[in-house]
Amino acid sequence: MTVIDKEHELTEEDYKLAESRGIDRKNLYARFHYHYWNKEDAMTRPVRRHSKSPWRAKCKELGIVDVMTYDNRLRYGWDEEKAATTPPMTREEIAKQNRDRQRKYPAWVYEEIKKNGINQRTFQSRVGKQGWTLEEACTIPPGTQLVDYYRNRVKELEGKMA
């Protein structure tokens, strides 16, 4: 027969002491047996209560965002109204956001490349090896040298001024 140390079991006195501190029996039991808190912490740490915010109730009422999402958003620093009324992102929106974060260049660059029919490798070579600016690399037509492009632009401007 093994003897269990008093520190490793909860007594009726412990439950009463915890209840006097606002911690119910179920919570104390869960903290001690399931979450493996030490006895002192389980009996003394106050239970976290959710705010009585009107937006929390509104959250349930509107059904846009579930309460757990609302609470997490508050922990991340969102204001209460925005946390309750902003719908969650779809999988496609999340994927797009992640893609945009991983991109080396801004989104407008990729749009310009596509619009002007410039190959991705051509663009990368222009920026990386040849030292072109982003705007030059994604707007000047393929097969055009930078020097030739600017010579033609100067001629165009001279022609307009004459």
pLDDT in tens, 34-53: 999 988 899 889 887 766 78
Closest CA to 62 of 79, 33, 84: 84
**What is the DSSP code (8-state) at residue 30?**
I
pLDDT-derived band of residue 135, with 50, 70 and 90 as boundaries?
Answer: very high
User: Is the per-residue pLDDT at 58 higher than 50?
Assistant: yes
Single pTM value for the model: 0.44
- Residue 63's Cβ-side half-sphere holds a number of Cα atoms within 13 Å equal to 0
Q: What average pLDDT does this structure show over 99-128?
A: 91
Question: How many C-beta atoms lie closer than 10 Å to residue 17's C-beta?
Answer: 14
User: Is the per-residue pLDDT at 103 higher than 90?
Assistant: no
Tell me what pLDDT residue 124 has.
92
Q: What average pLDDT does this structure show over 80-98?
A: 92
- DSSP per-residue string spanning 106-152: -HHHHHHHHHHT--HHHHHHHHHTS---HHHHHHSPTT--HHHHHHH
58, 59, 62, 64 alpha-carbon torsion, rounded to 10°: 160
